[in-house]
Amino acid sequence: EASLEDNSLEGFFSVFEHIFSLFFFVEWCLRILACGWVWIFELLNFCDTVLVFGTGVLVKWVLEPMGSDVGFLRIFTVLRALRLARLAKRVRLIPFFKELWVLIHGLTNSARPLLWTFVIALIILYVFAVAATELIGRRDVFQNDDFIQERFGDLIRSMFTMFQLMTMDSWGFDIARPAMKKDGALGLFFVTFVGIAVFIFWNLITAIIVENAFAIAKSDQAHQAKESELQKKKELKVLAELFLQIDKDGSGELTVEEFLGAMQNRKVRQLLDLLDVKVEEMEEVWTTLDDGDGLLTIKEFTTGMRRMKGEAKAKDLLDTIKRLRDMSLGQAELKAQVDQFVEKLGGLESKVQKITRDTGEVVGLFQEVFHRLEAHVQRLDRQAKVAARQREKGEMLREIREAEEEAYAEVAAEEAMEELLEVTQKKSVRGGGARG
């Protein structure tokens, strides 16, 4: 609009002024509603409020409708471009805009170093301007030289000339060489000033600004790490809430039935949307998270879901490679242990074989002893049977002898009775004959 000589597009630009003013005003109102009136009392927020009202609301919606001349105030509308710094702050986490934010942040935080830079520059210019005025402007040889007097005639002119030297603006042919035509020793003065003011001072300023930029980048990385930590805590809170929603029995562990059955819950689906996880992928998610025991603890669930969120990063790939490396080392260690175990089993097998042979020999000895004992027992049994038969025969013979003796005794008793009867009968016969 400023580059146009006529006002043919004034209405077009005015419409856009109203649109931007409305946009800025609505944003300001939303911030007041969200943060309260205390938001204004911060310095940057106060400046932002002045920009919104001073260059937008006041100019376009108050003074212009009243017919006031706002030509001077419209100059300050260019300051609204400073609000782009806030946009850069919002997009600083995007890698493409990282350098833009470092530059803007470095510029806003370099005000104090720049102020002291100007102070030191003025001191250097003042000291060398005084020397140049005495060495060049007031010397007799240069009194009638209008070219020299125009550049070194007084302190102010000398300071401006030395500033031109400091910026290296045609200093050789326009300043140094014309003065050196009448006094070649002045070359040493000019070279000394260039060495101090240009090579040392400007490089020192560059080093300070670069160091400040690195410090800003480092502090911004710490801020990003803090925001990342806050985001992590927020995600863990959402995941913990999601876990509790899925865990119906309150056991602290999820089964596949609970995990897949919870997809019918609207709140669970909303929490999954916050985590950028699709419901259709949950069966695949279970397969990925499950370590084989058919259960998911809250730690397995939250850690696994956070790892699966978004695209794979270099950190995730490095972590995967590290896990694979650890697994490979674990397998190698396990293989070494298995080989050692196999070797021990081989030694144990040889020992078992030796024990088997020794045991066979011992069993053979026991069998031989057993057979010998069995033969001895059988021999003793036969001897016992023979002795028993002999005892039976002896008892039978004794019984026979006793029976014979009893029979002889009975026969003798019968014979004695018969003899006694005979004697008794004889006596009876004799007694009857006597009585007769």
pLDDT, tens only, 304-313:
766 666 555 5
Looking up residue 280, the CATH number of its domain turns out to be 1.10.238
Bridge partner residues of 296 (DSSP): 254
pLDDT of residue 123: 92
415 compared with 199, residue with greater pLDDT? 199
pLDDT of residue 436: 47
Q: Could you tell me if residue 350 is inside a domain? A: no
Mean pLDDT on 225-235: 71
8 plus 73 within the same structural domain: yes
Which residue's entry shows tokens 């029979």?
407
Mean pLDDT on 95-118: 72
In SS3 terms, the chain reads as CCCCCCCCCHHHHHHHHHHHHHHHHHHHHHHHHHHCHHHHHCHHHHHHHHHHHHHHHHHHHHHCCCCCCCHHHHHHHHHHHHHHHHHHHHCCCCHHHHHHHHHHHHHHCCHHHHHHHHHHHHHHHHHHHHHHHHHHHCCHHHCCCHHHHHHHCCHHHHHHHHHHHHCCCCHHHHHHHHHHCCCCCHHHHHHHHHHHHHHHHHHHHHHHHHHHHHHHHHHHHHHHHHHHHHHHHHHHHHHHHHHHHHCCCCCCEECHHHHHHHHHCHHHHHHHHHCCCCHHHHHHHHHHHCCCCCCEEHHHHHHHHHHHCCCCCHHHHHHHHHHHHHHHHHHHHHHHHHHHHHHHHHHHHHHHHHHHHHHHHHHHHHHHHHHHHHHHHHHHHHHHHHHHHHHHHHHHHHHHHHHHHHHHHHHHHHHHHHHHHHHHHHHHHHHHHHHC
213 plus 255 within the same structural domain: no
431 compared with 299, residue with greater pLDDT? 299
- Per-residue confidence at 131, pLDDT binned at 50, 70, 90? very high
Q: Could you tell me if residue 348 is inside a domain? A: no
pLDDT of residue 92: 60
Q: How much of the chain, in percent, has pLDDT values that exceed 70?
A: 74
Range picked from 41-45, 126-130, 381-385 for highest mean pLDDT:
126-130
Query: The domain containing residue 83 runs over which residues?
Result: 1-93
Range picked from 287-301, 374-388, 411-425 for highest mean pLDDT:
374-388
Residue 430 Cα distances to 325, 416, 433, 434, 435, angstroms? 148, 21, 5, 6, 9
Q: Could you tell me if residue 65 is inside a domain? A: yes
Mean pLDDT on 106-116: 74
**Average per-residue pLDDT for the chain:** 78
Domain count, the chain: 3
Angle at 186 between CA 181 and CA 192, to 5 degrees: 140
Q: Could you tell me if residue 240 is inside a domain? A: no
Q: What is the pLDDT of residues 330-368, one digit of tens each?
A: 888 888 888 888 888 888 888 888 888 888 888 888 888
Mean pLDDT on 231-246: 75
pLDDT of residue 6: 57
Q: Could you tell me if residue 301 is inside a domain? A: yes
42 plus 77 within the same structural domain: yes
88 plus 129 within the same structural domain: no
Q: How much of the chain, in percent, has pLDDT values that exceed 90?
A: 3
Instruction: Determine the Cα–Cα distance for residues 12 and 19; give it in Å rounded to an integer.
Output: 11
117 plus 208 within the same structural domain: yes
pLDDT of residue 221: 59
| pLDDT exceeds cutoff 90 at 277 | no
| Domain final residue pick, 200, 218, 236 | 218
| pLDDT exceeds cutoff 80 at 386 | yes
Residue 380 Cα distances to 370, 375, 385, angstroms? 15, 8, 8
| pLDDT exceeds cutoff 70 at 279 | no
133 plus 210 within the same structural domain: yes
Q: Could you tell me if residue 270 is inside a domain? A: yes
The pTM score is: 0.40
117 plus 31 within the same structural domain: no
| pLDDT exceeds cutoff 50 at 400 | yes
79 plus 111 within the same structural domain: no
13 plus 72 within the same structural domain: yes
Instruction: Determine the Cα–Cα distance for residues 291 and 295; give it in Å rounded to an integer.
Output: 8
Q: Could you tell me if residue 373 is inside a domain? A: no
Q: What is the pLDDT of residues 9-35, one digit of tens each?
A: 667 777 878 888 888 888 889 888 888
Q: Could you tell me if residue 135 is inside a domain? A: yes
- Per-residue confidence at 176, pLDDT binned at 50, 70, 90? confident
Mean pLDDT on 228-254: 75
- Per-residue confidence at 317, pLDDT binned at 50, 70, 90? low
Nearest CA among 358, 102, 289 for reference residue 213: 102
Q: Which residues are CB-neighbours of 272 under 8 A, at least 6 positions away? A: 242, 278, 279, 282
